[in-house]
Amino acid sequence: MIQLLKMAFRNLGRNRRRSFFSALAVGMGLALLMLFASFIEGEMGSAIDSAIRLQSGHLQVRAQSYDEGKTSLKWEDLIEDPDQVAAQIASLAPVRVATPRLFASGFVSTRNESAGVRVYGIDPLSEANDPYRIGMLSGEFLTPDDREGILIGQPLADKLGLKAGDRVSLSVNTSNGDVQEQAFSIRGIYSTWTGGFDGVTIFLPLTKAQAITQAENHASTIFVLLKDASQTEAVVAALNAPRLQILTWTEMNDVIIQTEDMANSYMGVFYLIVLGISATVIINTQIMSVFERTREIGILSAVGMKGRRILAMFLAESSLLAVGGIVLGLILGGLVVAYFTRYGFYIGNFGMTGILIMDRIYTQLTLQDTVSLTMMAFIVTLLAGLYPAVAASRLEPVEALRAEK
């Protein structure tokens, strides 16, 4: 084996430029696959994380008749005495925080423009609101007793030309089907760097949201964050609330999970295309090597070298090209992924509101992806070198010796 590797290394050194560029083709293919795999992992991971932190939580507890699509404010569709329900849920050991929230639809208007919004009534002191509190760009966060203050997202502020301290008119639907309008001051402008969320979501203190919508002591949902997402099913079983519906983060983010599965399927096709191009380069390199060394192969066969040993020699050359290409690919791919892990891709929000994708995607490369892509690149390179190796091993010595130099 050592002798075969030495011969393979010597043979590749005969045309160093061609060998280098062949290995580089494998390396660039591997680097590209690492980049795309890390992009998909980062994008989907970011979408799930954003959805849990900003919108769904790990669990939501709602009235059985509540319809999120209709944003119902009828008392029979809401949770009565939500603070008490939230306290009972928060007493469970796996629960990090449980807080009531009230949702309503409405319009924010200035003198010249207006925009449709979704109103979140929140407990400003709850830990669940840290993503909004941390993302404050100007002004200050809400307080529980604030009766005239709202928070708006930066995209909405930019659209309407607003800043902290400005006055706006907010119109919301109420529990009896009417529309209630009131002037508010913008206490602050926040950003979660998720344009699809920030552009349509405004915040009111829960008590004020209950008052303006005439929901009184009711809430749309109990928003629950767990200490460990793996405890989700255990908490659902522990709640045992037959008169309430309990939704898990997987159910509420089904679209994201399906999108991830579909993206992984398409990535499999992309992997095959990229590796197919790399394999073509290896096949061309090895076929050229066979043509150039036809007489040499004939001499080796004439002095007693078996066909399987000639086959092994060419496969050893393919293995060295694969190893060299993989090393180059890991270096190139590692550097590119490290850059985008730190600085990210800016993609904007594409105007989407259904999936909470951050405006900037940060790549995330897992060890599993790295190992699987490396093995895939090595196997494909070996398979690419198999046809030229078989062709070389089947050359007849007499015909090979007659070949022109």
For residue 197, the one-letter residue type is: F
Mean pLDDT of 328-337: 94
Q: Is the pLDDT of residue 390 over 60?
A: yes
Q: Is the pLDDT of residue 81 over 80?
A: yes
For residue 292, the one-letter residue type is: E
Q: Please, is 61 exposed, middle or buried when counting C-beta atoms within 10 Å of its C-beta (0-12, 13-18, 19+)?
A: buried
Q: Is the pLDDT of residue 405 over 70?
A: no
Residue 194 to residue 217: CA distance in whole angstroms: 31
Evaluate whether 105 touches 153 at the Cβ level (below 8 Å): no
Mean pLDDT of 36-62: 87
Angstrom distances, CA of residue 240 to CA of 58, 66, 81, 236, 237? 16, 18, 18, 7, 6
pLDDT band at 398 (very low <50, low <70, confident <90, very high): low
Q: What's the farthest any 2 CA atoms get from each other in the chain?
A: 98
In the chain, the percentage of residues whose pLDDT exceeds 90 is 45
The overall average pLDDT reported for the chain is: 86
For residue 52, the one-letter residue type is: I
Of 97-106, 169-178, 300-309, the poorest mean pLDDT is in 300-309
Q: Is the pLDDT of residue 349 over 80?
A: no
Tell me what pLDDT residue 401 has: 56
Residue partners of 147: CB distance under 8 A and separation at least 6: 205, 208
Evaluate whether 190 touches 153 at the Cβ level (below 8 Å): yes
Mean pLDDT of 239-266: 81
Of 71-75, 115-119, 241-245, 358-362, the poorest mean pLDDT is in 358-362
Tell me what pLDDT residue 146 has: 92
Tell me what pLDDT residue 358 has: 67
Tell me what pLDDT residue 194 has: 84
Evaluate whether 348 touches 199 at the Cβ level (below 8 Å): no
What angle do helix axes 367-393 and 16-51 make, rounded to 10 degrees? 150
Q: How many CB atoms lie within 10 A of CB 405?
A: 6
Tell me what pLDDT residue 273 has: 85
Tell me what pLDDT residue 206 has: 96
Question: Nearest-5° angle of CA 401, CA 404, CA 405?
Answer: 100
Residue partners of 353: CB distance under 8 A and separation at least 6: 196, 197, 199, 200
Tell me what pLDDT residue 31 has: 93
Tell me what pLDDT residue 348 has: 64
Evaluate whether 357 touches 347 at the Cβ level (below 8 Å): yes
More confidently predicted of 354 and 1: 1
Tell me what pLDDT residue 353 has: 47
Angstrom distances, CA of residue 70 to CA of 138, 178, 212? 32, 15, 18
Q: How many CB atoms lie within 10 A of CB 182?
A: 15
Tell me what pLDDT residue 298 has: 72
For residue 163, the one-letter residue type is: K
Tell me what pLDDT residue 267 has: 77
Residue 250 to residue 194: CA distance in whole angstroms: 20
Tell me what pLDDT residue 183 has: 94
Q: Using one digit for the tens of pLDDT, what is the confidence trace for 208-231?
A: 999 999 998 999 999 999 999 899
Residue 25 to residue 17: CA distance in whole angstroms: 12
Q: Using one digit for the tens of pLDDT, what is the confidence trace for 128-154?
A: 999 999 999 999 999 999 999 999 999
